[in-house]
Amino acid sequence: MTRRPPNIVVIMADQLAPHFTGTYGHPLVQTPHMDALAARGTRFDAAYCNAPLCAPSRFSFMSGQLITRIAAYDNASEFPASIPTFAHYLRQAGYRTCLSGKMHFVGPDQMHGFEERLTTDIYPSDHAWTPDWEMPDERIDKWYHNMDSVREAGVAATTFQIEYDEETAFFARRRIFDYAMDGTAPIAMVVSFIHPHDPYVARPEWWNLYGHKSVDLPATTAADDPHSRRLMKGIEADVVIPTEDEIRNARHAYYANTSYFDSKVGAVVQALEESGHLDNTVVIVTSDHGDMLGERGLWYKMTFFEPSARVPLIVAGPGVARGEVAEPCSLVDMLPTFLDIARAEPEFGMPIDGRSLWPLATGAATSGEGEAICEYCAECASHPIFMIRRDVNGGRFKYIHCDVDPPQLFDLEADPAELTNLAADPNHNAVAEAFAREVAGRWDSEAIRRNVIATQHQRRTVHAAMEAGALTSWDYQPKRDASQEFVRNHMDWTEAAEKTRFPPFARD
């Protein structure tokens, strides 16, 4: 008999940089559940998002395509229903597909291949957050990041983010047990949390894990490249200078919320174990992007420096080897990886940009062909910005290009803090020129820019119309029928008790 393919459970953070986790070597931050998964699985040490912003990154993750292929430019870009996702392909392969938590879908399709969605989303699903590249120096105060998250960091009993993540974990855990009681298999579930995304506010029990004075301050000085200056202005860090204590507060809360997220990793794994699913489930932990967290004077994301662009990626489960992988990879690689795990060979509805990481996760030798291709086409910019991360001639190189900025080249092996731009270094001419030729051949930057501006016009027009008259909301409304929950008069309560008990009572 052919053994059924394993379950796939993805646990996703928001804005979690691997640099600030114990799993990736931070000496202070406590992440025991991520540590445990990494200890019995594979930790990818050079995993990147494909766009350092929430919605574009998630659309790439879902579709296996770069954002410029699908016009997923910013947090108000529509994710069209016609784009196939890994949820569609896994559903075709016989998986029950389920989403609990955030995915930042924009547009009327709020499912994108998931058969079930257990919660609403945390952010708007319309075009309200559309940037304006024709007025790139104008801040949109209603939704642009500013420094309030840093200056107001600290402790609270609850926040909208805490409430959201508690709900996300609760419904995911309940559904895992439902699957066990119903005998449903295989399953593909994404459990996606909002922490440790700013605002940097933590509950006391997580804050108190860390002595305040032990929280480290940013190690690197202010950046002086043009895009960093644009970001500084965009988040008002050029005029609102946080004090050392405010910076430490923000990092303290971020560390606390990283531990909080880690506890949710533990809760999901515990539910898989108690439901009998764990031994046949591949568990993946990742994030949509990182957080600068004050490094270089920058906060949040939107840049290709390592704390913003890199993500954790941990894979554990049946068949997964123990070890670390240094080869570069990115979130577009997840779709083909999931299909390999599922042993599925669908006919692709669109070409994909990623490659399967399953061979590396199961112990294959690194190929030396790994890369991460990243793009940014959102706020605090006026032209597309591209990044290529690839190992070349023994160096771990990152090349960044924007038509209106000087190029940047960093050797992450020799210069992990990215302090020395080698683009004009005579000793690196060949590498820099090769990357420059690749950028010119891979992207038509001006055409992309024209399309970004065109879609911004379209979206602003649609949003203005949707704000006039009666509201037609695209926000997902979770389906619940309270008349069928718990115990009702049309049920035998003893049967209800028996049906919802797991493991079931063993009768003689």
Active site residues: 54, 104
CB 101 within 8 A of CB 12: yes
Task: Calculate Rg over the CA atoms of the chain.
Answer: 23
Q: Which token pair is 136?
A: 């790139």
Residue 243: HSE in the Cβ half-sphere, 13 Å Cα cutoff? 6
H or E stretch at 388: strand 385-392
Give the whole-angstrom CA distance, residue 102 versus residue 244: 32
CA pseudo-torsion sign 18, 19, 20, 24: positive
484 burial via Cβ count (<10 Å: 0-12, 13-18, 19+): exposed
CA distance 508 to 497: 18
Residue with tokens 């979206």: 459
- What are the angstrom distances between the C-alpha of 279 and each of 4, 8, 170, 264? 13, 11, 22, 19
| Residue 413 neighbours by CB distance under 10 Å | 12
CA gap 79, 379 in Å, rounded: 18
Side-chain half-sphere of 51: how many Cα atoms within 13 Å?
28
Beta-bridge partner residues of 286? 12, 313
Give me the phi and psi of 214, to 5 degrees please: -80, -10
Give all strands (DSSP E) within 2-73, no chain letters.
7-14, 42-44, 47-48
Give the torsion through C-alpha atoms of 293, 295, 299, 301, to 10 deg: -90
Residue 161 parent element (H or E): helix 160-182
Ramachandran angles phi, psi of 170, nearest 5°: -60, -50
What is d(CA 29, CA 44) in angstroms, rounded to the nearest whole number? 19
Pairing outcome for strands 7-14 and 281-287: parallel
Summary count for the chain: helices (H), strands (E): 15, 16
What does 298-316 look like in DSSP terms, one character per residue? --SSSS-SHHHHB--EEEE
Instruction: Say if CB 14 and CB 102 are below 8 A apart.
Output: yes
Q: How far apart are the first and last CA of the chain?
A: 30
Distance of alpha carbon 207 from the chain centroid: 23
